[in-house]
Amino acid sequence: MLKVQHIRKSFNQLEVLKDISFEVERGEVLAIIGPSGSGKSTLLRSLNFLERADDGHLVFLDRAMHIPEATKEDIAYIRKHSAMVFQQFNLFKYKTALENVMEGLVQVQKKKKDEAKQIALQHLEVVGMLERQNYYPRQLSGGQKQRVGIARALALHPQIIFFDEPTSALDPEMVGEVLDVIREAKKEGHTMIIVSHEMNFLYEIADQVLFMDGGYIVEQGTPEKVFLNPVNPRTQQFLARVHFQK
Ligand SMILES: Nc1ncnc2c1ncn2[C@@H]1O[C@H](COP(=O)(O)OP(=O)(O)O)[C@@H](O)[C@H]1O
Ligand SMILES: [Mg+2]
């Protein structure tokens, strides 16, 4: 469903992604772990062209592109069929939960307001936020805001969802409610790429794990392989520092 080949990205002199390749199959959950600054966000942002990588190829669904030459139509195609969940939620401050979920349906997918509202309400229900549909972001806890963020992503019926540290901005007691919503999305068969430091959660949910460091994928494989039997010393060091308990 998504094939990434030889992605490179620099910011001025700083080469953040040096040569990144991987594949995600339909229905698969890919976890990306690695130290802060290793390029995880840059990689996700490059996949949906919030950043444009300097080099590399993408094959997404039935479309292949050389990233530097990707056209407006290529980018629109990727954005139409994908959704992103951000660490900082990125909700519109002056829109209610319901309006936030409706926004992409109306603006991007050109649905009629009534239809958009029905779809949005369905997805607010899925994340347990139906009663708060008329609340503004400032009236919601972090966990509730992120559940709205996930409802907004799910409502678009994306082929793939990118999560960039969806629980990193949350107080610890709210992490669980957001992880539960992501577990549900996996049960529904969603294809997802999740960047997170919630190692136990990733161990449980991921089909495939990539460990990034220094602009490269240093180790990759099943959660059992990467978490329990890491071969690379850098992976071993990283896992010793984070909270992973089997
Ligand atoms: N827009 C940008 N301009 C300049 N440098 C950036 C930009 N975005 C990220 N970086 C740098 O790229 C490196 C990787 O950042 P990032 O992808 O956010 O890492 P991670 O998400 O793994 O913590 C960092 O050194 C960061 O400072
Ligand atoms: Mg990041």
Answer whether residue 246 shows pLDDT above 90.
no
Answer whether residue 7 shows pLDDT above 80.
yes
pLDDT in tens, 136-170: 999 999 999 999 999 999 999 999 999 999 999 99
Atom of ligand 1 nearest to the CA of 39: 17
Nearest CA to ligand 1 atom 26: 37
What is the CA(37)–ligand 1 centre distance, in A?
6
Q: What's the confidence (pLDDT) of residue 242? A: 85
Lookup: tokens for 166: 């969806």
Walk across the sheet containing 160-164 and list its strands: 82-85, 160-164, 191-195, 29-33, 208-213, 216-221
Nearest CA to ligand 1 atom 7: 11
Nearby residues for ligand 2 (ion, Cβ within 5 Å): 40-41
Lookup: tokens for 63: 């479309």
pLDDT in tens, 167-225: 999 999 999 999 999 999 999 999 999 999 999 999 999 999 999 999 999 999 999 99
Ligand closest to the CA atom of residue 33: 1
Amino acid at 226: V
What is the CA(215)–ligand 1 centre distance, in A?
11
Q: How far apart are CA 202 and CA 158, in angstroms?
A: 21
Judged by DSSP in three states, 240 sits in: helix
Walk across the sheet containing 14-24 and list its strands: 14-24, 2-11, 55-60, 63-66
pLDDT in tens, 32-59: 999 999 999 999 999 999 999 999 999 9
pLDDT in tens, 58-80: 999 999 999 999 999 999 999 99
Query: Which residue of 18, 32, 40, 42 sits with most ligand 1 atoms within 8 Å of its CB, as the best mutation to test the pocket?
Result: 42
Query: Which residue of 41, 45, 197 sits with most ligand 1 atoms within 8 Å of its CB, as the best mutation to test the pocket?
Result: 41
What is the CA(153)–ligand 2 centre distance, in A?
19
Query: Which residue of 13, 14, 51 sits with most ligand 1 atoms within 8 Å of its CB, as the best mutation to test the pocket?
Result: 14
Alpha helices in the chain (DSSP H): 40-47, 72-80, 97-107, 113-126, 142-155, 172-187, 199-205, 223, 233-241
Atom of ligand 1 nearest to the CA of 212: 22
Atom of ligand 1 nearest to the CA of 43: 17
Pocket of ligand 1 from Cβ distances under 6 Å: 11, 14, 16, 34, 36-42
Average pLDDT for residues 86-100, to the nearest whole number? 97
Name which of 201, 203, 195, 105 is nearest 154 in CA terms: 105
Domains and CATH numbers, the chain: 25-52+82-239 (3.40.50.300)
Q: Check: CB of residue 230 under 8 Å from CB of residue 211.
A: yes
What's the N-to-C CA distance of the chain in angstroms?
A: 31
